[in-house]
Structure 1
């Protein structure tokens, strides 16, 4: 109900400019079609009036936690506790640089650019080593293990690079 503008239009324009900014729509429109339109235009949450101030604060805090985890700045990604600089090919954990091999960096780049997406081992093999690579997909497991040794707090119980039994791996963001 903005004057002269449609809120869905504004939401869409904001999302085009910054895909990582948090957007909560506060509205009197309660129809399912309106909610779907809001989400399809890029809203992270949709709150119908009247609402409890405590509920709104909880929703804002939840969105803030998610949004503050991922920020892009040109050729850098900040994803607490990590920072990746693609131009210099440097990786940091809690502001401490961690040396990565070419393959480890490529794996990390694949995962960080696709958070929460599951990759099959052979898919990773084709993306990182190329479709003409001759050898076992176990090379993926070996390099994932090496990468975990460098970035995980406890490589035996990984928090970031999750194994999907019988399938492959996923970079997990909560």
Structure 2
């Protein structure tokens, strides 16, 4: 049974979401403010976090950064729940490491579909170690680890899936639309700036190896050894 942590200060909404998750076979946990949400995430290490943007104690964006910059919680996918629907708000959410973004009010069906899609991004073990090496970059697909020149790089689930998608097709150009479909796991409702934002974060984290990700102007990206 997968555990989902709901960090939401609207008590009625949190309880409703928890009820619907439980009906679908998930184990819901609820935290009503930022500090208790951070503590619950680090203590329980849930499979996914539903995170409200406006929270008492710690804002959702700051909390997301804290989760993504901590080794124990960096790989936990985060879906942001917010009443703000402007493009800049979505971009900020993705820039701090959110894996998806749902604007309130939302239907239970939409939320469950988004949760299932995000959880599907976790790549199943196929048995046996598999390493991909491109220049200074090494990807351990079995253990979901990435390192550059022997130094481990901590990536979010979505960042890892995006990098692996490019690495498994080294030298081949991937359109933004195709990356949205392959990495986000469903017909993503949104603009392709989502891909650009994640690519920028990925390049920054990879340091010198970030140069392996090439932009193909007007189309998409490819990963190619120098």
- Give the TM-score taking structure 2 as reference length: 0.41
Match of 1:90 in 2: 145
1:81 and 1:95 map into 2 onto residues whose CA distance is 8
Check conservation: 1:162, 1:171, Cα contact below 8 A: yes
Partner Cα distance (2:136, 2:225) in 1: 11
Q: Give the drift of 1:152.
A: 3.3
Contact between 1:164 and 1:170, CA under 8 Å: does it hold in 2? yes
1:107-159: CA deviation from partner (whole Å, max 9, x where unpaired): 110111111100110010011112332111110000000000011328xxx52
CA-atom RMSD in angstroms: 1.8
Q: Which structure has the larger Rg? A: 1
Residue aligning to 1:172: 224
Moved >3 Å (runs of 4+):
none
Map 1:94-113 to 2 at 5 A: 94-113=149-168
SS in 1 for 2:152: strand
| Paired position in structure 1 for 2:204 | 149
SS in structure 2 at match of 1:153? helix
Using the size of structure 1 for normalisation, the TM-score is 0.53
- Tell me the CA shift for residue 88 of structure 1: 1.1
- 2-side partners of 1:81 and 1:153: how far apart? 8
The answer (yes or no) to whether the contact 1:116–1:172 under 8 Å persists in 2 is yes
Alignment of 1:27-66 (within 5 A): none
Tell me what 2:185 maps to.
130
Structure 2: runs of 5+ lacking an equivalent: 1-127
User: Any conservation in 1 of the 2:129–2:142 contact (CA below 8 Å)?
Assistant: no
With 76-85 and 95-104 compared, the bigger mean Cα shift is at 76-85
- Counterparts of 2:219 and 2:190 in 1: how far apart (Å)? 18
Aligned match of 1:162: 214
Deviations 1:59-114 (A, max 9, x none): xxxxxxxxxxxxxx941122331111111110000000000001110011011111
Q: Number of residues paired by the alignment?
A: 99
